[in-house]
Structure 1
Amino acid sequence: MKPSQQGFGTYVFITLILVVIVAGASQGLLLPLLSIWLEQRGISAQMNALNSAALYIGIFATMFFIERPVRRYGFHPVILTGIILVIAASILFPFTDNLVIWFVLRLVVGVGDSALHYAAQLWIVSNSPAERRGRNISLYGMAYGIGFSIGPLAIGLAHYGNAVPIVIMNILFVIVLLMVLRMRNERPPGTDEPRTNVPQENRFLRVYRLAWFPLIPAFLYGYMEASMNGNFPIYGLRLGLDSLEIGYLLPLIGAGSLILQLPLGIWSDKIGRKPILMLCGIVGASAFLAVPLAGTNVWIIGALFLLAGGAIGSFYSLGLAYAADLLPRSILPTANVIASIHFSLASLIGPNAGGWLLQHVSLSSLFYAMGSVYILFAFAGFRFRRSSSEAQETSPT
C-alpha cells in the first residue's frame, strides 16, 4: 500500500498518537520507579546511574540498524515488535534482583522503545501532507510529553505490590497493540523506487547536503534537555536554591513545550519551518542568557524556563518536519536516523560539557554557552539555502 498524498486515515493517526503516549508513560514510569527500587535496596548512586544508562545505550544502538527492517518489513511489524519487547522485558523487573539481568532488561526496553518511536515518528512525518506536517508532528511531540509526565503518577500503585504499576502500564500497551493490529501495514515512501541516482552508501551524505540545517535542532534539543536535567540542579544548589525549588523549576521547561508545541507546528505550516525555527532559536537564546541575571529569584527563573521550554521544546519535531519538506521521500528514513543519533549524542555531551563549565569556568557559563549555541543556530539559518539543483532532487510532498 503506497501512502496517499492526502495523508493517512484518522484511525491510524490516533492509534500512533496513543502508542506514543503509552510509550512515553512507560519510560516516565520505569526511570524513577527502578531507581527508587535500587535506592531502597541500598545500591550506590553511581551503580544506580550506571544501570539506568542501559536504557539510553539501547536507544542509541537501535539507530544503527533500525532503518533496514523498517524499509524491508514496514512500519507495522516494527511497532508491534517494539511494543512486545517493552512488555516482555518490563514485566520481569519485579521478579529478579540481579543487576546484570536488570541491565540487559533495560537494554531491551531501550531497543523496543526506540524501535516503536522511530517507526511511529517516521510514519507520521512521511504520510502527513506538507500543509499539516507541522501540526501532526507537533501532536506527536505533545503526546510523548504528556505520556512522560503522567507516567510517574503510577509509582504510587507500588503500594499494592511492586509489580502493579508495571502490570497496569503493560495492560495499556496491550490495548494499543490490539489497535495497531487493526492497521494496514505500510513501508516508507520510495522503498520500492529504483535508486539509480545515488549509491546506497551515500544516503547519509546526501541527507546532510540537502538538509544540514533542519538536522541541527535534534542535537540542540537533546543538548538542552540533558544539560538542564543533569546540570541545573548543581547550578541551583551552588547558587543557593533548595532542592524543592529546583524540583518546581525544572518541569516548567516541559510545561512550556507542551503549551507551545502545537501552536508552533501550526504556525510553521502557514509561515514556514525555517523562520519559526530561527525565531525560536533567538527567543530560547534570550531566555537562557537572562537566567544568570535573575539571581535566586525563582519566579523570574521559572518564567524564563517556561519561555525557553516553549521555544526550544518544539525543535526536534519542527526540525524533522522541515527535513521532510526538503528531502526526497526515499531518504526520509535516513534523516530520521540521523536526527535520533544527533539527539543521543547531544544527550551524552550536554551534561559532560555543562559539568566541565560549572567546574572550570563559572556558574553563569552554563547558560551563556547554551544561549550562544542557539544564537549561532539562528544565524546559520541565513546561510542555509535550497539551490535549484537540490530542489529538482526532491519529489513533491
Structure 2
Amino acid sequence: MQSSRYTFWVLIVVVAVAGANQGLTIPLLAVLLEQQGVSSVVNGLNATALYLGIVLVSPWLEIPLRRLGYKNTIFWGLVLLTGSTLLVPVFSSLTIWFILRLLMGVGDSSLHYASQMWVTKITSEKNRGRDLSIYGLAFGIGFGIGPLGLNLLTFGLWVPFAALIVLYVIAYLLLARIKNDYPEEFRPTEKKQNKYVTVLRIGWLALIPAFLYGFMETSLNGSFPVYALRTGLSLEWMSLILPSFIVGSIILQMPLGALSDRVGRKKVMFVCALVGAAAFFLFPLAGENVWVMMLLLAVAGAAVGSFYSLGLAYAADLLPGSLIPTVGIVAGINFGVASILAPGINGYLMQAWEPWTMFWLMGAQLLAFAAACLVHRSRPKRAATEQHGQKIFTGA
C-alpha cells in the first residue's frame, strides 16, 4: 500500500512548482507588456485575467474532482498550465495573452484546489495545521524563487518559459508515481440541506481568511508599486521591501501551523489578526525609512501569511470530511474575488484620499476578523456530521 506521506511530499513539490509558475509569469508578462509600451492601466487589467480564471472555474471544480479524482484533476490543471505557457512567447497580442492568462488561472486553480483537498484528506487531525502550513510554505518558497527567472530573459525570450516547462515535467513525473484517490461521498439527510448553505452557516469564520489573504497578496503585489512611486521610493528599494512580507510568512508558516494544532486555530488566527492589523496601521508612520517598512511588512507577513492554510485547517476541524471539497470551492472563490477587487479599491482610495489608506484598509479588515473570532461559537464536528449528512468511505 502506498504511503500517504509519500503522496503528501509529491503534492508539496507540485505546489512549489505552481508557486514558481505564478512567481515568474506575473512579473514576466508585466515586464514584456511594459517593453511593448502598453500603459500601466492596461497592463494591470491584463493581469486580472489570472484571477478571473480562478473565479470562473472555482464553482465547478468539485464536479471533476469527484468524478476524476485528485490526481487526474491535478494532471489536467498541469496540462492547461503547460499549454498556456508554451503559447505565450508565440504571440504578442494583448487579447490572446488575456485568454492565455485566463487559462492559466483555470489550470492553476484546478491544481491548487485538488492538491489542497488531497492534503487535507490524508493528514491526521492532530498534525493538520502543521502539514497545511508546509503546503503553504512550499507555495511561498516557489513564489519567492519564481521572479529570479526574470534574469533568464537576457538569454532570450523563450528561456524563462523553457525553465517553467522543465519544472512542469518534474511535476508530471512525480505525479505519475502516485495512485489516484477520491474524496469522501456526501449523502444529505432527509432535509436535503444544500451543502453550500451548510458550509457557509457552520464554517463562515474559517472561510474569511481566504478572502483576507487574497486581498492582502494582491494589494501588496499590485498596489504597493503605485504607493512606492507616489511616495518617492526608488524601484530598487521597492524590490527589496516587497519580498519582506513573503520572507516573514515563510519563517512562521510551520511554527504557527504546529501551534494551532496544540492551542486551536481560532486563538492563533485571532492573535495573528491583531498583530497584522497593528503592523499595517503603523506602516504609514514609517515615512521614508525603508528599514522600518521592511520590518513592518515582515511582521505582517509572519502574522497573516499563513491565513489561507489556517483557514482551511479550521474548516476541516468544524466540518465533516465529505464537505471539505465544498469548503475548497468557496475559499477559492473568496480568494479570487478579493484579488479582483483589491486593485480597484486601493486605486480609488489612493486617488481620492492618500496612498497610505491601502494599509489602513487592510488593518481594518484584520480588526474586523479579530472581532468576528470573539463572537464566533463553534459547534462540535460530530454534531455537524450527524445533522447534515453521513460520511461514506469509498475505500480509497
Tell me the equivalent position of 1:115.
Answer: 110
Which amino acid in the other structure matches residue 70 of structure 1?
L
Match of 1:196 among 189, 201, 210: 189
SS in 2 for 1:91: helix
Aligned residue for 1:339? Answer: 331
Candidates 361, 366, 383, aligned match of 1:392: 383
Equivalence for 1:136 = 131
Structure 1 residues 237 and 29: CA distance shift in structure 2, 3 A = closer
Q: Which amino acid aligns with 1:48?
A: N
Q: How far does residue 330 in structure 1 lie from its aligned partner after superposition? A: 1.1
For the 8 Å contact 1:226–1:351, the answer to whether it is kept is yes
Aligned letter for 1:49? G
C-alpha distance in 2, partners of 1:393/1:26? 38
Is 2:145 aligned against 1:146?
no
In 1: Cα distance, 2:294 partner to 2:178 partner:
43
Are 2:26 and 1:31 aligned?
yes
For residue 133 of structure 1, what is the amino acid of its counterpart? R
Q: 1:197 Cα deviation (Å)?
A: 4.6
The residue type paired with residue 262 of structure 2 is K
Cα deviations across residues 157-179 of structure 1 (Å, max 9, x unaligned)?
23333222212221221122121
Alpha-carbon offset, residue 11 of structure 1: 1.5
Q: State how 1:128-277 maps to structure 2 within 5 Å.
A: 128-189=123-184, 191=185, 193-197=186-190, 199=192, 202-277=194-269
Q: Which letter does structure 2 place at the counterpart of 1:196?
A: T
Decide whether the 8 Å contact of 2:208 with 2:311 is kept in 1. Answer: yes
Per mean C-alpha deviation after superposition, the further-off stretch among 297-306 and 262-271 is 297-306
The answer as to whether partners of 1:58 and 1:107 remain within 8 angstroms in 2 is yes
Letter in 1 for 2:361: A
Q: Is the 8 A contact 1:326 1:394 kept in 2?
A: no
Quote the Cα distance in structure 2 between the aligned partners of 1:364 and 1:168.
37
Matched residue SS, 1:320: helix
- Partner deviation per Cα, 1:37-63 (whole Å, 9 max, x = no partner): 233333333333333322222122110
Counterpart-to-counterpart distance in 1, 2:322 and 2:168: 31
Q: Does the residue aligned with 2:187 lie in a helix, a strand or coil?
A: coil
* Stretch deviating more after TM superposition (86-95 or 32-41): 32-41
Q: Is the 8 A contact 2:7 2:178 kept in 1?
A: yes
Question: What are the Cα deviations for residues 257-282 of structure 1, in whole angstroms up to 9, with x where unaligned?
Answer: 01111110011111110100001001
Q: Which moved more, 1:348-357 or 1:123-132?
A: 348-357
In 1, Cα distance between equivalents of 2:67 and 2:146: 33
* 8 A Cα contact 2:18 2:142, kept in partner: yes
Maintained 8 Å contact 2:59/2:330: no
Identity, in percent, stands at: 46
State the 1:199 CA deviation: 2.7
Tell me whether 72-81 or 293-302 shows the greater mean CA deviation. 293-302
* 8 Å CA contact retained: 2:51, 2:339: no
2:72 counterpart residue number: 77
- Cα distance in 2 for residues equivalent to 1:76 and 1:366: 39
1:313 equivalent among 277, 280, 305:
305
Residues 231-262 of structure 1 deviation map (CA, whole Å, 9 limit, x = unaligned): 33333333333332222211111110011111
Q: Give the letter for the 1:358 counterpart.
A: M
1:369 paired with 2:361, answer yes
Q: Which whole-Å CA distance do the structure 2 matches of 1:310 and 1:51 have between them? A: 30
Structure 1 stretches of 4+ moved >6 Å: none
After superposition, give the CA deviation of every residue in 1:192-235 in whole Å (9 maximum; x if it has no partner): x53335536x1111101111111111111111122223333333
Distance 1:197 1:392, change over 3 A: farther
Separation in 2, partners of 1:234, 1:172? 32
Shift of 1:92: 1.7
1:298-309 to structure 2, matched below 5 A, reads 298-309=290-301
Instruction: For residue 156 of structure 1, report the CA deviation from its aligned partner.
Output: 2.4
The alpha carbon displacement at 1:376 in A equals 1.8
Unaligned runs of 5+ in 1: none
Q: Following the alignment from structure 1 to structure 2, what is the Cα–Cα distance between the partners of residues 303 and 179?
A: 38
Equivalent position amino acid for 2:383 in 1: Q
| Residue number in structure 1 paired with 2:394 | none
The one-letter code sitting in structure 2 at the alignment partner of 1:77 is: N
What CA distance in whole angstroms lies between the structure 1 residues aligned with 2:346 and 2:251?
27
Of the structure 1 ranges 260-269 and 233-242, higher mean CA displacement relative to structure 2 is found in 233-242
Letter in 1 for 2:306: S
- Separation of aligned partners in 2, 1:216 and 1:224: 12
Which moves more between the two structures, 300-309 or 168-177? 168-177
Contact kept, 8 Å, 1:58 with 1:111, in 2: the verdict is yes
Alignment of 1:54 onto 2:49 = yes
RMSD of aligned alpha carbons: 2.1
Q: Which deviations, in whole Å up to 9, do the C-alpha atoms of 1:357-390 show, x marking residues without a partner?
A: 22223344332332222112112111111235x6
Moved more, 261-270 or 232-241: 232-241
Query: What does 1:343-362 align with in structure 2 at a 5 Å threshold?
Result: 343-362=335-354
Partners of 1:102 and 1:242 in 2: CA distance: 29
Matched position secondary structure for 1:362: coil
SS at match of 1:97: coil
